[in-house]
Amino acid sequence: MPVSILIVDDEPDVAVLFRQHFRRETREGVYVLHFALSAAEALDRLASDIEPELVVILSDINMPGMDGLALLREIKKRWPELPVMMLTAYDDEERRRRAADSGAADFVTKPVDFDFLKTRLRELHGSSV
Amino acid sequence: MPTFSIRLRLIFLSVLLLSILAGSSALLIRELIRDSRSLSEEAKLVSIVRDANSASKHFGDLKYWAIDSAVTQLAGSQDAAELAKSGLESDLKAISAVDPHVVAAIGGEVYIMTNLTRQAALAYSSDDSAAGNALVAQAKTRILAIEDQIDKIVGRLEEQAIVRRDASMRQAEFATRLAIAGGIGALALALGFTALTVHSITIPLKQLDRSIASITRGDLNVAMPPPSVPEIAAMTKTLAMLRDSLIERDRLEGERQRAEMEAHAARDTAEAALHDLKAAQANLIQAEKMASLGQLTAGIAHEIKNPLNFVNNFASLSVGLLDELNAAAAPALAMLDARRRGEFTEACDLLIGNLQRIGEHGRRADNIVKSMLAHSRGGSGHLESVDLNALVDESLNLAYHGARAQDQNFNVTIERAYDENIPPLSLVPQDMTRVFLNLFGNAFYSANKRKREMNGADFRPTLALTTRDLGDAVEVRVRDNGGGIPPEIRDKLFQPFFTTKPTGEGTGLGLSIAYEIVTNQHRGTIEVSSLVGEFTEFTVRLPRGHSPDRSA
Tell me the pLDDT band of B7, cut-offs 50, 70 and 90: confident
Distances in whole angstroms, Cα of residue B313 to Cα of each of B50, B60, B64: 188, 202, 208
Interchain CB distance below 8 Å, A13 and B377? no
pLDDT digits (tens, 9 = 90+) for B335-372: 989 899 899 889 988 998 999 899 888 888 888 787 77
Boundary of a domain, candidates B177, B201, B225: B201
Chain B from 193 to 252: CB within 8 A of any A CB: none
For residue A128, pLDDT over 50 is answered with: no
CATH number of B393's domain: 3.30.565.10
Per-residue confidence band for B262, with pLDDT thresholds at 50, 70 and 90: very high
Q: For the whole model, what pTM was predicted? A: 0.45
Among all residues of chain A, which has the CA nearest to that of B305?
A89
**Chain A residues touching B373 at Cβ < 8 A:** 90
Domain contains B61: yes
Question: Which of B201, B217, B235 lies at the terminal end of a domain, its last residue?
Answer: B201
Is B436 domain-assigned? yes
Q: Can you say how many angstroms the Cα of residue B209 is from the centroid of all Cα atoms in its chain?
A: 23
The pLDDT tens digits for B197-243 are 888 888 888 888 888 888 888 888 877 777 777 888 888 888 888 88
Residue at B429 is within a domain: yes
- Gap between the Cα atoms of A113 and A110, Å rounded: 8
Judged by CB atoms closer than 8 Å, whether chains meet at A93 and B381 is answered as: yes
Which among B310, B377, B381 is the nearest to A17, CB-wise? B310
When divided into structural domains, chain B yields a total of 2
Judge whether A111 is closer than 8 Å to chain B, CB to CB: yes
- CATH number, domain containing residue A48: 3.40.50.2300
pLDDT per residue over A93-116, tens digit each?
788 888 999 999 889 988 888 889
Could you tell me the pLDDT band of residue B453, with boundaries at 50, 70 and 90?
confident
Q: What is the C-alpha to C-alpha distance for residues A118 and A124, in angstroms, rounded to an integer?
A: 10
Q: Which residues of chain B lie closer than 8 angstroms to A92, CB-CB? A: 377, 380
What domain count does chain A have?
1
Range of the domain at B164: 6-201
Q: Which domain holds residue A89?
A: 3-128
User: What pLDDT shows up at residue B551?
Assistant: 41
Secondary structure of B88-138 in the HEC alphabet?
A: HHHHHHHHCCCCHHHHHHHHHHHHHHHHHHHHHHHHHHCCCHHHHHHHHHH
ipTM of the complex: 0.76
The b/e string for B473-496 (b: 16+ C-beta within 10 A; e otherwise) is bbbbbbbbbbbbbeeeeeeebbbb
Distance of CA A1 to the CA centre of its chain: 20
Assess whether pLDDT exceeds 70 at residue B547: no
Shortest Cα–Cα distance, A116 to chain B (Å):
14
Rounded Cα gap, residues B535 and B484, in angstroms: 5
Decide if pLDDT at B456 tops 60.
Answer: yes
Would you tell me which residues 47-66 of chain A have a C-beta closer than 8 angstroms to some C-beta of chain B? none
Is B1 a member of any domain? no
pLDDT greater than 90 at residue B23: no
Residue after which a domain boundary falls, among B201, B217, B250:
B201
When the pLDDT of each residue in chain B is averaged and rounded to a whole number, the result is: 86
| Interface-testing mutation among B304, B313, B363, with chain A (most A C-beta atoms within 10 A) | B313
Whether B447 is in a domain gets the answer yes
Cβ–Cβ of B380/A93 closer than 8 Å? yes
